[in-house]
Structure 1
Amino acid sequence: MSDVEKGVSVSPVAGGDAASKELDGANAAVGSISTTHTATAEGDFLIVEFEKNDPRAPANFSYSKKWSITLISVLFTAIVSASSSDYSFGYDSMIPELQCTQMQATLGLSMFTLGFAVIPLVSSPFSEEVGRKPVYLVSATGFVLSQVMIALAPNIAVVIVGRFLNGAFGSTGAILVGGTIADIWEPAQRGLPMSLYSLIALFVTAGGPIFAGWVDMNRHMQWRWIAWLNGIFGGAYVLLALAITTETRASIILARMAKDKRKETGDERYRSRSELETPGFWTLIWISCTRPLYLLFTEPVVFFFSLWIGFASIGSLFSSVYGFSTGESGSVFTALCIGSLLGCSLNYYQETIYRRKYASRGPEARLYVALGAALLFPVGMYIYAWTAFPHVTWVAPCVGLAVFMCATYVIYQTVFIYLADCYGQWSSSALAGQSLFRNIMGMIFPLFTTQMYNNLSYKWANTLFAIIATIMIPIPWVLFFYGSRIRAKSKISQEITADEAKK
């Protein structure tokens, strides 16, 4: 028996006893295959499916294989996260060399988040139709090339375009990982992988400026080497991904199995269900672009979580108030790293609650710690806003940053794992929808925060953000108590629930 035949369940569609005899003859030729008889108006097809405990099914991958896939995916997240935040710490050397303004340099920061926001509307849903692996590899390669483009840029215009491409290709490292984890881990097992993903995303985002500030201050390196280092790490990821990454989308694997079966037997009736249901190319593009938007604006769960995670701002407070150098200001981000570690530690408590409460609460059992994080989020911002004075030690606002990041970690991790639980196979589209909202806000903020801080002062500008965070405290509480009712009224959630029940 060939590898293609092992563990393949084939459902003949239409044909009755005649089809059964014909199928038996085919089975004798190609090996033992379990079969069931069903009928459909679509015609006579033999539907290829995974057998129970089939090792090729992503959910049945070995524990070591699941962790290898998870870790290599999270590595891409780490590289992209560093690139998202370290760019702005090259301004001091970039602006005089390229003879550009502060606003032009800041536009490079905003263009990164624009690419990060828009491209997942296509790449994430498209990965659900053509497979995760090709999207990962193409995106990683594009990410490396865009870093080279920035490192060699002769003017600020090239940097701005390069930053857009950098965000566009890098968005895969943030959005697709949640879908990959949902592909291979059962809901009860997703806590630790998602926690690791959230930790890396926030820890490295906070850690990027720590090294970038000192690189920029080194007259032999400066801003171009920030891009070169990102490109080098990205190139290393591409090599590892080629060696380790495998397809995790079940429908894609089944389609390949059916194709191999047709090639081996010459019987064109072998099909996967996705092949019979896949729309035309332009319809696929339309679905890829509109599904995340549809989920964002029609699914209250996606919309409210997107609103909750959609803002945060840390200005250049330490250089302005305390006179820190670029390297010293970057080092302050260590407080954010500490906060993300504290948030990660809370995940272990959350996972204990989840296992105990899932039977009675369902996906909402993911939200217990998030209820407290909703309170900590504005508290950290108030501390940051009201302790940043020259006569107050710089440690005080750092404490506020640590509290803020601890809450942000819990929020970030909760959003990803809760949406993955609620939307299953459409989780990448749901995450792309919330990413659009979050990153559009991230694109806008840098363009006006400097003026806002100058006009309102750091105290009142950050107080404004804290007040907005206070207003949003009820969001996880509403979802905790009414999330199941909200999802019960959702057509998409009903379809996903029905599919899970069939599986």
Structure 2
Amino acid sequence: MSQISTSISKSQLSEEDKHEVQFSRTSTLVGSACNDVLHRSSEKHKLVEADEDEDPMKWNKAKKLKVVIAVVGFSILTSGATPAFSIGLSQMTEDLDTTTELSTVAEAIFVCAFALPPMVLAGLSEQYGRSKIYCVSYLLYVLLHLPIAFCTGITGVILGRLCQGLAASVGSTLTAGSIADMYDGYERGIYLSLFAASNPFAAGVAPICYSYVPEMYRLGMPGQHHGAGGWRWIQLIEMAAAGAWGVVMACWVKETRLNVILQNKAQRLRLQTGDLSIKAPSELCRVSKRQMFRGSALLPLKLLCTESAVLAFSLFIGYAYAIYYALQGSIEHVFSTLYEAEYDMSNARVAFVFATLCVGTTIGWVFNYCFQERWFYTRFRHKHSVEARLGSSMVAGVVFSAGSFVYAFTTYEFVHWTVPCLAIVVIMAGIFPIYYSSMNYISDCYGANASSALAALALVRNLVGGVVMLVIRKWLDGMGFQWCLLMVAVMGTFLSIIPIALFVYGGRLRSRSRYCLEEQEDDIKKVSMKTSHV
């Protein structure tokens, strides 16, 4: 039986680094503990290994690209859901005879729902595979458009948006993991940066696509004697688009977790041969559900409360995304209020202002690639190691703050509407490098614990973003556009110091962190193993 490795010796484990990598990818434990378990069990069990066509890292380029296109498409659809919903918000408020505050809750709760699933999904996907979670969550996301579209009360819309947000969060939570399962090094960075840019890019495109739907179409409901109902068509069109993309998901999404692939292979071979000693490495190294819960749900909270780098970047990126979601929630209100009379800025025309999110994100992506990846990281990585990831975020923090000041001082009726649009472009050009470089920095700092640290960042940024969407219109109306946006700009200026401080003092902070030290010790062990082998 050539597909099965009947024994793995201790000398192989210690001398060949590829086995170390293989075990870390196929098991749910990390480091020497899993290797010890595998060694003790090698005499009693036959361990399956991955063939060339089974290992996602060795798939051909076309197969990998199909998976990337499918899962990033899922993320794009979910990222555009809230901006598209906001296009019909005022009409929905009138149709359902509800208040603006409750309508805003229905808009923001979708974003808040993105905060909690990353705390659990990482552990579940490592145990049971990503493809199953994609399948269930995507089906729920598609079907939940129906109750939102046909509800006759705001309560049903709010509950539908909450459940839909929980399902949609998979698109942003697992996509990066799927890419990391298939690529390493330079290619992984390129695809991850494109995935990171897909969120704000979709947020800019979606409102344009649905801009005239509420005005052009009507959909009355039994028992409702008023209201156009055109906002319901946005949900139905989104459902149709998501359903069509579901065909792509079903055809192209494959399981990318190597440990789950080997579990399925071992189970298939046991059924074919009747040999119960055939096992996958992860079946011998499986963690308990309690350990999985502690690792995926509790560790992010612990890192958030005890790790200075995680807390600092949570504040910084949380604030940056607060501005991002504030822009989503305020563009329609600001531009229709200021420019409706002079420039006839209807809701449909205001939707085209969202294109500034796409332009800014594209500029930010190009800047991050040219400045950070091609120059700064290459020049400073030997001297500052991990902190070399922070180059673009240091510059972007200043750009982001400058754009916020310009936006604050140009929201007047006598200022041409293109000027605040340019300010939004500058803000978005700063937000993307902040997001992407912080992800890379935290990943390099915490290594095996990176998923938990990133889950902590996701928790903060989505909760803060959802809360800001709830209150931004009240702030704008209560404080005035200029004072509200000026307050935002001043706070952003203070927080822009964070990446600069981490670049200077990050090494000292990491030396005091138990979790960062564990990662450094693992790196030292790998280097020493390679040098001793040579």
Q: CA deviation at 1:233?
A: 2.2
Taking the aligned partners of 1:487 and 1:54, their CA distance within structure 2 comes to 38
**Residues 255, 489 of structure 1: CA spacing in aligned structure 2 closer, same or farther, 3 A cutoff?**
farther
CA contact (8 A) 2:179 2:191 kept: yes
CA offsets per residue over residues 29-74 of structure 1, 9 Å max, x none? xxxxxxx9998567854463657x9443333333333322222111
Paired AA for residue 59 in structure 1: M
**Residues 37, 299 of structure 1: CA spacing in aligned structure 2 closer, same or farther, 3 A cutoff?**
closer
Secondary structure of 2:411 counterpart: coil
Taking the aligned partners of 1:100 and 1:386, their CA distance within structure 2 comes to 34
Correspondence list, 1:347-366, <5 A: 347-349=368-370, 350-353=372-375, 354-355=377-378, 357-366=380-389
Q: Paired residue for 1:321, among 320, 324, 338? A: 338
CA offsets per residue over residues 442-463 of structure 1, 9 Å max, x none? 2211222222112211101011
Correspondence list, 1:216-365, <5 A: 216-220=214-218, 222-310=230-318, 311-312=322-323, 313-314=326-327, 315=330, 316-323=333-340, 324-349=345-370, 350-353=372-375, 354-355=377-378, 357-365=380-388
**Residues 241, 50 of structure 1: CA spacing in aligned structure 2 closer, same or farther, 3 A cutoff?**
same
CA contact (8 A) 1:78 1:200 kept: yes
Could you tell me which runs of 5 or more consecutive residues in structure 1 were left unpaired when the two chains were aligned. Answer: 15-35
**Residues 220, 384 of structure 1: CA spacing in aligned structure 2 closer, same or farther, 3 A cutoff?**
same
Taking the aligned partners of 2:37 and 2:417, their CA distance within structure 1 comes to 71
Q: CA deviation at 1:284?
A: 3.2
Paired AA for residue 342 in structure 1: I
Structure 1 window deviating more from structure 2 (287-296 vs 308-317): it is 287-296
CA offsets per residue over residues 385-419 of structure 1, 9 Å max, x none? 00111111111111110000011111222233434
CA offsets per residue over residues 452-488 of structure 1, 9 Å max, x none? 1122111010111111111111222233334344344
Match of 1:194 in 2: 192
Structure 1 window deviating more from structure 2 (284-293 vs 69-78): it is 284-293
CA contact (8 A) 1:11 1:37 kept: no
CA contact (8 A) 2:75 2:199 kept: yes
Taking the aligned partners of 1:272 and 1:478, their CA distance within structure 2 comes to 45
CA contact (8 A) 1:178 1:416 kept: no
CA contact (8 A) 2:9 2:39 kept: no
Paired AA for residue 78 in structure 1: I
**Residues 10, 468 of structure 1: CA spacing in aligned structure 2 closer, same or farther, 3 A cutoff?**
farther
CA contact (8 A) 1:203 1:337 kept: yes
Secondary structure of 2:8 counterpart: strand
CA contact (8 A) 2:266 2:280 kept: yes
CA contact (8 A) 2:48 2:279 kept: no
Match of 2:502 in 1: 479
Taking the aligned partners of 2:246 and 2:473, their CA distance within structure 1 comes to 37
Paired AA for residue 84 in structure 2: D
CA contact (8 A) 1:80 1:170 kept: yes
Tell me whether 1:443 sits opposite 2:499 in the alignment: no
Count residues with an aligned counterpart: 478
CA contact (8 A) 1:179 1:425 kept: no
Could you tell me which runs of 5 or more consecutive residues in structure 2 were left unpaired when the two chains were aligned. Answer: 12-34, 220-229, 530-534
Correspondence list, 1:38-437, <5 A: 44-46=43-45, 48=47, 50=49, 54-220=52-218, 222-310=230-318, 311-312=322-323, 313-314=326-327, 315=330, 316-323=333-340, 324-349=345-370, 350-353=372-375, 354-355=377-378, 357-424=380-447, 426-437=449-460
CA contact (8 A) 1:384 1:397 kept: yes
CA contact (8 A) 2:123 2:292 kept: no
Taking the aligned partners of 2:498 and 2:522, their CA distance within structure 1 comes to 28
Query: Segments of 4+ in structure 1 off by > 6 A?
Result: 36-39
Match of 1:457 in 2: 480
Note the aligned Cα RMSD (angstroms): 2.8
Q: CA deviation at 1:428?
A: 3.9
Taking the aligned partners of 2:7 and 2:363, their CA distance within structure 1 comes to 49
**Residues 257, 303 of structure 1: CA spacing in aligned structure 2 closer, same or farther, 3 A cutoff?**
farther
Structure 1 window deviating more from structure 2 (396-405 vs 131-140): it is 131-140
Match of 1:25 in 2: none
Paired AA for residue 504 in structure 2: F
Taking the aligned partners of 2:58 and 2:308, their CA distance within structure 1 comes to 32
Paired AA for residue 501 in structure 2: V
CA offsets per residue over residues 234-270 of structure 1, 9 Å max, x none? 2223221221111222222233333344444444343
TM-score after normalising by structure 2: 0.82
